Structure 1
Amino acid sequence: MSHSMTDTMEASSSGFLSKFDNLDHRLFWPAIGFTFLILLSAVLFPEGTNTFANTGMKWITNEFGWFIQLAGFACLAVLLWLAFSRFGSIKLGAESDTPEFSDSSYAYMIFTAGVGAALIFWAVGEPMYYMQSPPMFSEVGSVEASQWLITFTLFHWGPIGWAIFCLPAVPFAYYLHKKKKRNLRLSNVLEDVIGKKNANGTVGYIINIIAIFGTLGAFSTSMGLTVGLIGAGINKLTGIPNDIVLQVGLIAAFIIFYAFVMFAGMKKGVAKLANACVYAAFILGLFVLISGPTAFIFSYFFDSAGVMFNNFIRMSFWSDPVQKSGFPQAWTMYYWAWYFAYLVMMGVFLARISKGRTIRQLVLTTITCGSAGAAFFIAIFGSYSVHSEINGILPVLEWMNEFGVSMAVVETINALPMGSIILVVFLFVEFFLMSTTMTSTAVSMSMMTTKELDADSDPDASVRMIWALGIGAVSMAAFFMGGSIDTIKSMCIIVGLPMIALYILMMICLKKWIKQDHPELMAK
């Protein structure tokens, strides 16, 4: 190796290591440590921790579920008003700024960041659960129950969910690109409301830790689903046991792959990965559509979409206070709280990629493209699994109850023409989808815990890498500690409730900023 090349590598390595100084260690280590503490408590005191987490989750959904539903619907209403009002034309950046990514790449990055690999998992799994416990007072096995199977799945992955993802992105993007701030700690974003002293003091510190923990908890849940699903597929194809060794190996593979994407950068790495993911997933979906019950898929989807639009308000506020079936609490309220917990991850990532776009473009692209993309996969994979079950073609429900949702999904995919080949393609798509979500999470966490972002609003590569390792370590710990993912899920829902208060504070800040920067719009 030449001396010049050696010197270059040493300089690069030295620069990489020195950049750790830009990591906010006061936030990073306590947030990671707090998450590990929850996991450790789940191992040392499994019954007590699980009871506490489940009791807390049930208390929140039973006592404050109506508020969670109201907050979710309010996010959609506020964003649509904002997009179509005079404020929708406000550019997120200087007037001379142009979008960094093409319209298609922008939409694909939003979609892949928001859904990950969990979408296809639940596209098959949710309708099967609803078949056993139908919503809206339907009887099991009735024709009335069948109309809700993918209707509620479409609803849970539809406009309200994407609005919850999108709402914090607007103030984050305004703060980053319009105000030109280089520190994205949530407490600093809220400084105009909570005051500088609180933002830099204990109150701000607690806000930041809770926000990061919520993201880690929400992401760990998605990672747990994905690793279990890919492991089940590998087991089906090769016979390798889907045990802790395989699962930890898969998480290590995610970290290694992320390193390659990260060093390629946002345009060459993240954007191209998102594009490839969407194209591959779209082709897979079209194959299932063509080789499956095509007419039924179209008919069932449009019928279900009609039922959803016809009952959208009812579904948005259905809390079942009299019959107390528990369906809204276990599903809708859980989903909304889970989405609220993603405040930092989705808010910061969407803000990062929205420079040069208007508030209207950010809002409408996120809600429409996110909902449409999710509907595409739910329509195809959900309808295919429902058709297979109700016509006795495949025992999807039996597979799910006996072996779990992951194996049911794998067996359903494997039953397609050229099943083994399609299953391999499916597993690669799932891996890449999860990789985009992991990349989005690591970038967002890095931006929030970087002392000062560079001119392009990017965190240092070293900070992004240590966050990828931190996220991977949390996920591995959850698998090693067995059953802790369920506890993390419950804790994530508990954290989701106070996030709603932060949403409100962020919108108050946004109003103040617009009033300062655009008095002519406020005067109107």
Structure 2
Amino acid sequence: MQKVTSVFWVTLAIALFSVIWGAWAPGSLESITGKIQSYISVHFGWYYLLIVTGFVVFCLYMIFSPYGKMKLGKESDTPDYNYATWFAMLFSAGMGIGLVFWGAAEPIFFYANNAPTAETGTAAALNESMRFVYFHWGVHAWGIYAIVALVLAYFKFRRGAPALISSTLEPIFGDKMNGPLGKLVDIIAVFATIVGVATTLGFGAAQINGGLTYLTSIEDSFGVQLIIIGIVTVLFMMSAYTGLSKGIKYLSNTNMFLALALLVIMLIVGPTLFIMNMFTDTIGAYLQNLPTMSFRLAPNNEENRAWINDWTVFYWAWWIAWSPFVGIFIARVSKGRTIREFLSGVLLVPSVVGFLWFSTFGSSAIKVQQSGDADLAGLATEQAMFGMFDNYPLGLILSIIAMTLIGTFFITSADSATFVLGMQTTNGSLTPPTMVKFAWGIVQSSMAAVLLYSGGLQALQNALISAAFPFSFIMILMVVSLYKALRADKAALEKGKREKEKTSA
């Protein structure tokens, strides 16, 4: 434990306090986080919409600007991975438990129960449900990830800075980032990561429990979810002990295989023509309405505004809370790429794959709902996917694959997060001590359990929005810092070229 910094001890104390508080007074934790979440959603919903759209616009500007030619590394550096491997890693980084949890549940819920604006159960609601799913999981989500990954990769590989969030702000604050202000920045980033990952683990435990309840006589309860978290904690601790190169590598490959198998089988046994027709039609609707959706806040309609708070603001907070974790992972595998190819790949490839995923599972679920064979919209959120499988051939096999996939994603996310948290709390060390990773693993699982205990999925959402809010300000500063560094580095390059031309002349 000699490598740990004060960031480790302070953040650990805050996290443990939250866990003890939730275990001792769960009602109090749910109430206070609920009030914080409500205040942020109501008073700062506009802020989330503006900054996230701003991040996407900044990414697009960087792609087409002269800065796009600059490398994430030295001019002589080349990428460590080919495009196929790199794209697979991007897909693996962003495709976690969330895609499996919401793959069928979100489209069917929007269509049958709570469409953003259209009348539920109509053709308009069908189109609108898929369009907003793409909105929540598409370019805007990856724009958030891309910002953090881009800034970290640039400062790490181009300037040789430590892989810390605080080190990316030195162009603005200078040596102050080596003192208390820098520690505060890293503490905020680490705590947001803990809550973001804990929320996802909570969703995973709830869905595994939901699947077991739907398929067997096992009850859907906190006790069962606690057992699931305990088992998975032991498994990802074992994976963490084997090291990054072995544990995460094998699990990531397993994830990719299972996800691809689930997608392909569903495309074949599901309503294939309907899926592809919906995919094509709703992609067009998404692109056509993207500007309107990006700024839609409905200030004069309380019902529509509540929908935006519950869904869009929640998702933007979720991605922000996850961005330090996912950003560090993407940055590590992107050395040597130009800013243009990096941003083009990160924004577009995972988004398109995600659209196909939701089109496949969402359209299949809606088809079941339309046929009247089952009321999937009436099932608990975590059971919607399994209810859909039950109405197609190979349903049991698909359910088993899905639960296995959730489990491997659960382990991979927690395993990778322990590494990232360990790195962030040991001054950017690429080999954090095993005990540090174990400590963060236990904290993550404990927080997931406490959040479920104190209010289920709603408590998870409340905690997420609350934790992501302060980190959003750091992201804005990261953008400003990167732009300042890019201008300085580009000017230095141009000056060097001019001097070289004078010398050769």
Determine the structure 2 residue equivalent to 1:515. 487
The answer to whether the 8 A contact 2:202-2:460 is kept is no
- Whole-Å Cα distance in 1 between the matches of residues 206 and 326 of structure 2? 24
What pairs with 1:13-412 in structure 2 (closer than 5 Å)? 20-24=1-5, 26-182=6-162, 184-197=163-176, 199-201=178-180, 203-262=181-240, 265-325=243-303, 326-398=306-378, 400=379, 404-412=380-388
Q: Shift in Å at residue 379 of structure 1?
A: 0.7
1:512, distance to aligned residue in structure 2 (A): 2.9
Q: State how far apart, in whole Å, the 2-side matches of 1:331 and 1:257 are.
A: 32
Paired with 2:410 and 2:61, the residues of 1 have a C-alpha distance of 32
Question: Would you say the 8 A contact 1:301–1:379 is kept in 2?
Answer: yes
- Unmatched runs of 5 consecutive residues or more in structure 2: 498-505
- Structure 2 residue identity aligned to 1:347: G
CA contact (8 A) 1:199 1:205 kept: yes
Per-residue CA deviation, residues 204-231 of structure 1 (Å, 9 max, x unaligned), is 3332222222111111111111111112
Change (3 A) 1:328 1:478: closer
Q: Which runs of 5+ in 1 are unaligned?
A: 1-19
The alpha-carbon distance between structure 1 residues 46 and 127, as it changes in their structure 2 partners (threshold 3 A), is same
| Alignment CA distance shift 1:21-1:414 (3 Å) | farther
Q: Cα RMSD between the aligned structures?
A: 2.5
TM-score normalised by L of structure 1: 0.87
Kindly state the Cα deviation for residue 366 of structure 1 after the two structures are TM-superposed. Answer: 1.5
Separation of aligned partners in 1, 2:117 and 2:450: 40
Provide the secondary structure at the position in 1 that maps to 2:104: helix
> Equivalents in 2 of 1:265, 1:199: separation in Å?
29
Which segment drifts farther, 258-267 or 47-56?
258-267
Corresponding residue for 1:445? 421
Alignment check: 8 A CA contact 1:258 1:435 kept: yes
- Whether the aligned pair in 2 keeps the contact of 1:232 and 1:406 (CA below 8 Å) is yes
Letter in 1 for 2:39: W
Conserved? CA contact 1:270–1:439, under 8 Å:
yes
Amino acid at match of 2:58: V
Superposed displacement of residue 361, structure 1 = 2.8
Asked if structure 2 preserves the Cα contact closer than 8 Å seen for 1:93 and 1:356, the reply is: yes
Aligned mates of 1:139, 1:522 — CA distance in 2: 58
SS of the equivalent of 1:210 reads helix
Q: 1:430 aligns with which of 403, 406, 409?
A: 406
Structure 1 counterpart of 2:448, from 450, 471, 475: 475
Q: Helix, strand or coil: the match of 2:160? A: coil
Whether contact under 8 Å (1:120, 1:377) holds in the other structure is no
Higher mean C-alpha displacement, 417-426 vs 313-322: 417-426
Q: 1:435: Cα distance to partner?
A: 2.6
In the alignment, the residues of structure 2 paired with residue 122 and residue 191 of structure 1 have an alpha-carbon distance, to the nearest angstrom, of 39
Q: 1:358 to 1:438 in 2, by over 3 A?
A: farther
- Of residues 324-333 and 48-57 in structure 1, the stretch that sits farther from structure 2 once superposed is 48-57
Change in Cα spacing, 1:254 to 1:270, as seen in structure 2 (3 Å) is: same
Letter in 2 for 1:436: T
Please give the per-residue CA displacement for 1:43-102, whole angstroms capped at 9, x wherever unaligned: 544444433322222222222211211111111111121123222222222334333334
CA contact under 8 A between 2:168 and 2:478: conserved in structure 1?
yes
Deviations 1:278-306 (A, max 9, x none): 23211211111111111111112222222
Secondary structure in 2 matching 1:321: coil
**TM-score (normalised: structure 2):** 0.90
Count of residue pairs brought into register by the alignment: 494
Residue 492 of structure 1 pairs with residue 468 of structure 2: no
Residue 119 of structure 1: how far off its partner (Å): 0.8
8 Å Cα contact 2:152-2:164 kept in structure 1: no
Could you tell which deviates more after superposition, 354-363 or 483-492?
483-492
Contact 1:65 1:319 (8 Å CA) reproduced: yes
Q: Which residue of 1 aligns with 2:439?
A: 466
Tell me, in whole angstroms, the C-alpha distance in 2 between the residues paired with 1:465 and 1:83: 39
Contact 1:251 1:472 in 2 (8 A): yes
* Deviations 1:128-168, CA, capped at 9 Å, x for gaps: 32134544532233332222122111110000111011101
For 2:189, give the aligned amino acid: A
Greater shift, 225-234 or 248-257, is seen at 248-257
CA contact (8 A) 1:117 1:430 kept: yes
Kindly indicate whether the alpha-carbon contact (under 8 Å) linking 1:345 and 1:441 is maintained by their aligned counterparts in 2. Answer: yes
Per mean C-alpha deviation after superposition, the further-off stretch among 457-466 and 414-423 is 457-466
Alpha-carbon distance, 1:259 to partner: 4.1
Pair 1:421 & 2:413 matched = no
- Amino acid aligned to 2:164: R
Q: Identify the range of structure 1 (150-159 vs 55-64) with the bigger mean alpha-carbon deviation.
A: 55-64
Q: How far apart are the structure 2 equivalents of 1:307 and 1:407?
A: 29
Distance 1:468 1:38, change over 3 A: closer
Of stretches 512-521 and 59-68 in structure 1, the one that deviates more from structure 2 is 512-521
User: Aligned to 1:416, what secondary structure does the other structure show?
Assistant: coil
State the alpha-carbon separation in 2 of the partners of residues 485 and 34 from structure 1.
Answer: 22
Distance 1:240 1:493 in 2: 32
Give the Cα–Cα distance (whole angstroms) in 2 for the partners of residues 448 and 303 of structure 1: 43
Provide the residue aligned with 2:501 in structure 1: none
Cα distance in structure 2, aligned partners of 1:86 and 1:459: 37
Q: Deviations over 1:357-394 (max 9, x none)?
A: 22223222211122122112101110000110012122
Instruction: Give CA-to-partner distance per residue, 1:323-359, whole Å, 9 cap, x none.
Output: 2222212111211122112232122222222222222
CA–CA distance in structure 2, aligned partners of residues 307 and 154 of structure 1: 10
CA distances 1:175-225 after superposition (whole Å, capped 9, x unpaired): 22222123x332333233234236411x33332222222111111111111
The whole-number CA distance in structure 2 between the counterparts of 1:468 and 1:359 is: 33
CA contact (8 A) 1:86 1:521 kept: no
Change (3 A) 1:271 1:354: farther
Deviation at 1:244, TM superposition (A): 4.2
Q: Are residues 452 and 31 of structure 1, via their aligned partners in 2, closer, same or farther at CA, if it must alter by over 3 Å?
A: closer
Which segment drifts farther, 156-165 or 512-521?
512-521
